[in-house]
């Protein structure tokens, strides 16, 4: 997020078939709650197809058992169970009942009668997700998720290892290692209900919360069963690392800058280009803000997530993908010219006011990386570790990166430590990048934004249901504004009306916008929306503010209200699918 300047360029995300409307070129979205449907191979009864095994997992996956003794078959008949096992594992069922059971895989992998007092052992020799039942009664008994190195098969989870898929799609709320964050921890010791309960929650969502219905978003029953088995498994405690040396070695020049043209090769106004993240296509679309026509596509990485624009030269912009790759993009030719990898899971990007430095924030590993903006050379890796509001020292994901206007407050970057509940101010005018810290900001920090004068930083504490107000110059918390259930302002909305500056946030836990006076930090208005949302934006040249309802029903609405008190709703936009 940049300090306040005249509006030049903007971006928005596309996910699957969901289109968040481009309003005034300002509404941006970066939710991790959409899933892409993945085809499931249907094996024939005579010759079940056995997809080839992809490469192993990420190194932070589950501890996969090689031997499993299932509960009695009668117990499974009343409460089906999902288990995650390794290829070649020994799975044993025992029949403690007086009647016979016929264990039969839905896809023909096994079909075996188990008489009273007997047992049956099966060893899967190929990865996959196998549901089985009692052929005599028709009752479903359970699902077996057969994995190797954290992966299942190319047909599931878009070819990703199951732990990588979980970290990407679910980790934002439940933690990349299932340790819990806004959502509860998903580890065996915390899962006290049966598998049907968790299957239903994943498939259908939880009304009144930010948990979406993954079945409606494209996950198959087999994939959902696989996730149940995954959260039943014991997680590893190790966290993937990415050192400065590894980042330096990943730097790659894609196009020799000396060969680039001296003028734009397209006719669009550089000051009114919109950049649209095409998440699953691993690309960015450039749209002419004047004509609303597609100018071109820019090759990027997985789920391009954060953008930064060079404040000294409108030729250059930067993007970071969720997979940790940072790109230098030439707006003249609409192509990436350099790239470097700063981590395994990245979320934020900012550029210094003098255009010299970039900073990227990571979820995995828990670091921030400062780079030379001209070359993308990594300069330093900052370990995000601190004492949380409860007095526990923790490694912490970097929830947000921001830059402060050097002509307003100072030459600073700001980063928020999600789990540690701290905000760090980094002085980029000093090559040693000294850090000043403020602790006890709140539990589970998330998005935030700066006031117009950059003096105050407004940051969501999602568990505490407040927006913390941090004085950037003094580096201290000066106020906590109670707003509502799980504030989620995205990159925020501030505006002025009748001489008053206002700030506002949407909420991921309820359908309302809270509006406060920036001078007093007192909530002065509440606008009801059609459901919980993630993003709110205001444009300087418009009398209106827009707020989404991504978790509402329907989820494609945007509430539009007036900037002036009493903030009357002027309409609800219902477009897209």
As a whole number, the mean pLDDT across the chain is 83
For residues 150-157, give the mean pLDDT. 67
Question: Running DSSP on this structure, what letter comes out for residue 188?
Answer: G
540: CB partners within 8 A, 6+ apart: 6, 7, 495
Give pLDDT tens digits for 255-312. 999 999 999 999 999 989 999 888 767 899 999 999 999 999 999 987 788 899 999 9
Alpha-carbon span 504 to 456, nearest angstrom = 14
Written as six digits, the tokens of 565 are: 């008190």
Q: What is the pLDDT of residue 16?
A: 27
Specify the higher pLDDT residue, 202 or 185: 202
Sign of the alpha-carbon dihedral angle for 391, 395, 397, 403: positive
281: CB partners within 8 A, 6+ apart: none
Task: Say how many CA atoms lie within 13 Å of 461 toward its Cβ.
Answer: 24
Give pLDDT tens digits for 380-428. 999 999 999 999 999 999 999 999 999 999 999 999 999 999 999 999 9
For residues 98-121, give the mean pLDDT. 90
Q: What is the DSSP string of 123-186?
A: ---S-EEEEEEETTT--EEEEEEEEBTTB--TTSGGG--HHHHHHHHTHHHH-TTS--SSSPP-
Q: What is the pLDDT of residue 27?
A: 30
Q: What is the pLDDT of residue 106?
A: 84
Confidence of residue 497 (pLDDT cuts 50, 70, 90): very high
| Domain residue extents for the chain | 62-235
Taking every pair of Cα atoms in the chain, the longest distance, rounded to a whole number of angstroms, is 84
Q: What is the pLDDT of residue 88?
A: 84
Q: What is the pLDDT of residue 39?
A: 27
Prior bond of 365 cis (ω within 30°): yes
Which helix (DSSP H) or strand (DSSP E) does residue 200 occupy? helix 195-204
Written as six digits, the tokens of 301 are: 């990485």
Distance of CA 276 to the CA centre of its chain: 17
Alpha-carbon span 64 to 149, nearest angstrom = 8
CA-based radius of gyration for the chain: 25
pTM of the shown model: 0.70
Q: What is the pLDDT of residue 145?
A: 83
Which helix (DSSP H) or strand (DSSP E) does residue 273 occupy? strand 273-278
CATH 3.40.50.2300 assigned to 62-235: no
Decide if 224 contacts 202 (C-beta within 8 A).
yes
Question: Running DSSP on this structure, what letter comes out for residue 182?
Answer: S
Confidence of residue 236 (pLDDT cuts 50, 70, 90): low
Decide if 242 contacts 341 (C-beta within 8 A).
yes
What is the share, in percent, of the chain residues with pLDDT greater than 70? Answer: 85
For residues 122-148, give the mean pLDDT. 85
43: CB partners within 8 A, 6+ apart: 49, 107, 108
pLDDT at 338 over 60: yes
Q: What is the pLDDT of residue 5?
A: 28
Give pLDDT tens digits for 170-200. 887 887 778 776 777 787 767 777 777 888 8
């Amino acid at each position: 997020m940049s300090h306040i300047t005249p509006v030049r360029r903007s971006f928005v995300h596309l996910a699957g078939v969901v289109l968040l409307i481009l309003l005034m070129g300002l509404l941006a979205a970066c939710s991790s709650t959409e899933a892409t449907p993945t085809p499931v191979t249907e094996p024939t009864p005579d010759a079940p197809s056995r997809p080839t095994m992809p490469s192993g997992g990420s190194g932070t996956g589950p501890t996969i058992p090689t031997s499993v003794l299932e509960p009695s078959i009668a117990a499974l008949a009343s409460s089906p169970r999902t288990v995650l096992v390794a290829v070649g594992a020994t799975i044993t069922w025992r029949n403690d009942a007086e009647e016979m059971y016929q264990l039969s895989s839905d896809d023909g992998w096994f079909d075996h009668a188990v008489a009273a007092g007997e047992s049956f052992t099966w060893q899967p020799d190929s990865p996959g997700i196998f549901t089985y039942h009692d052929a005599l009664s028709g009752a479903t008994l359970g699902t077996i998720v057969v994995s190797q190195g954290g992966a299942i098969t190319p047909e599931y989870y878009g070819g990703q290892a199951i732990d990588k898929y979980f970290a990407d799609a679910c980790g934002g709320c439940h933690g990349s290692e299932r340790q819990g964050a806004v959502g509860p921890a998903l580890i065996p010791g915390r899962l006290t209900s049966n598998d049907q309960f968790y299957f239903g929650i994943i498939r259908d969502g939880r009304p009144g919360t930010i948990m979406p219905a993954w079945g409606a978003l494209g996950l198959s029953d087999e994939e959902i069963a696989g996730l149940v088995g995954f959260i039943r498994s014991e997680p590893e405690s190790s966290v993937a690392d990415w050192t400065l040396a590894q980042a330096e070695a990943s730097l790659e020049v894609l196009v020799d800058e000396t060969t680039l043209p001296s003028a734009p090769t397209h006719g669009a106004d550089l000051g009114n280009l919109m950049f649209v993240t095409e998440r699953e296509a691993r690309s960015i679309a450039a749209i002419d803000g004047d004509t609303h026509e597609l100018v071109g596509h820019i090759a990027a990485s997985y789920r391009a997530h954060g953008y930064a624009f060079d404040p000294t030269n409108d030729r250059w912009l930067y993007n970071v993908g969720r997979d940790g790759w940072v790109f230098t993009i030439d707006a003249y030719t609409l192509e990436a010219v350099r790239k470097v990898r700063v981590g395994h899971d990245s979320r934020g990007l900012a550029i210094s006011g003098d255009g010299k430095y970039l900073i990227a924030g990571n979820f995995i590993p828990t670091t921030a990386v400062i780079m030379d903006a001209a070359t993308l050379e990594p300069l330093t890796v900052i370990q995000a570790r601190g004492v949380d509001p409860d007095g526990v020292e923790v490694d912490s994901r970097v929830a947000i990166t921001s830059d402060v206007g050097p002509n307003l407050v100072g030459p600073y970057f700001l980063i928020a430590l999600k789990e540690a509940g701290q905000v760090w101010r980094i002085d980029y005018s000093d090559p040693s990048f000294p850090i000043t810290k403020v602790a006890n900001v709140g539990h589970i920090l998330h998005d935030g934004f700066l006031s117009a004068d950059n003096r105050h930083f407004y940051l969501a504490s999602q568990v505490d249901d407040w927006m913390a107000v941090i004085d950037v110059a003094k580096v201290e918390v000066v106020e906590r504004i109670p707003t509502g259930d799980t504030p989620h302002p995205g990159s925020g909305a501030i505006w002025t009306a009748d001489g008053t500056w206002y700030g506002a946030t949407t909420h991921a836990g309820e359908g309302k916008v809270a509006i406060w006076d920036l001078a007093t930090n007192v909530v002065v208005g509440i606008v009801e929306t059609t459901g919980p949302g993630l993003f709110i934006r205001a444009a300087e040249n418009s009398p209106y503010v827009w707020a989404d309802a991504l978790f509402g029903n329907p989820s494609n609405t945007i509430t539009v209200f007036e900037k002036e008190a009493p903030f009357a709703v002027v309409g609800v936009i219902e477009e897209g699918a």
